[in-house]
Amino acid sequence: MSVPSIEGIRRILVVGSGTMGSQIGMVAALAGYDATVQDISEDMLARAKADLSARLEANVAKGRLDAAEAGAALGRLDFTTDLASAAAGADFVIEAATERLQVKEQIFAQLGQLAPEHAILATNSSTLGSSKVAAAAGRPDQVCNMHFFNPALVMKCVEVVRHQETSQATVDTTMELARRLGKEPVLINREIPGFIANRLMGAIQREALALAAAGIASKEDIDTTARAALGHPMGPFQLMDMVGLDVIDFIAQATYAETGDESDKPDPQVAALVAAGKLGRKSGEGFYRYGS
């Protein structure tokens, strides 16, 4: 069955209520879509709902969002543990579960059975190409990556990645949906580990880590150079701390597993910090110390 044009997308389902999934759901609701965030955990859903409400209240208080608009968006966003009922009415599904292939395969197999035949099934994965879950869904031509960036409520870029069997109609509808969500989509025509953003970021981080390890310059001066000379909003060490060093290490491990390229090996400096529980801002210490 052919996928719907953008006008046929009315209800969006997001599977997974973590930071990314919940914020993607709110992005859809703010753009005027009926949206549902599904998770197997009632506690996770409750935390997601509370966090989103607090974020909207803060934006209203700062004058960034109209109170009526915030209330209307919350009214368009549902939270549920019932995947079957949520998927049954979805025109577009975005999976934002944990970055584990077996988990994603199970979800896509369920979605292939539960979602309407016309529904597009996208994964928000930043490391796993959608070809790895397309067969499980039973509709490979309607599967692609739709990778949002953290925080999804703020970041504008969305990477749309097609695999060999993704149809042009699926690509066109996904790209246009991203635009209607207020994002700036980029199309990646062939799966490649890291897509675009992570490859660019990884190249800069590898060079920064090598310069620091060789004693060429301190991490502080490397960060200052990135900001003052290249115009980056933050330096590579600051950025790694913000993203989370465990996330940086996981991306490197996943990329190296795909490519086998020695240059993609996880960095020992990052791995050592992760092993010590120093994950960056979220743990209070990474390359830098944080706190009062």
Compute the distance between CA of residue 254 and CA of residue 264 in angstroms, rounded to an integer: 9
Residue 192, token pair as written in the block: 């490649």
Choice among 22, 124, 126, 167 that is catalytic: 126
b/e per residue 108-117 (b: at least 16 CB within 10 A):
bebbbebbee
Task: Specify whether 2 is catalytic.
Answer: no
C-alpha dist (Å) from residue 236 to 5, 67, 203, 227, 252: 40, 37, 10, 9, 15
In a 3-state reduction of DSSP, which class is residue 290?
A: coil
Q: Which residues pair with 184 in a beta bridge?
A: 157
Q: Among candidates 264, 279, 278, 126, which has minimal Cα distance to 206? A: 264
Q: Which residues pair with 122 in a beta bridge?
A: 94, 144
Q: What is the DSSP letter of 145?
A: E
Task: Specify whether 126 is catalytic.
Answer: yes
Task: Specify whether 118 is catalytic.
Answer: no
Choice among 131, 191, 198, 285 that is catalytic: 198
Residues contacting 32, CB < 8 A, separation 6+: 76
Compute the distance between CA of residue 14 and CA of residue 122 in angstroms, rounded to an integer: 10
Choice among 95, 159, 191, 285 that is catalytic: 159
Other CB atoms closer than 10 Å to residue 205's CB: what's the count?
21
Compute the distance between CA of residue 211 and CA of residue 100 in angstroms, rounded to an integer: 33
Residues contacting 185, CB < 8 A, separation 6+: 157, 158, 159, 160, 174, 175, 178, 179
Choice among 22, 130, 145, 147 that is catalytic: 147
Task: Specify whether 150 is catalytic.
Answer: no
For residue 285, which amino acid is it?
E
Known catalytic residues? 126, 147, 159, 198
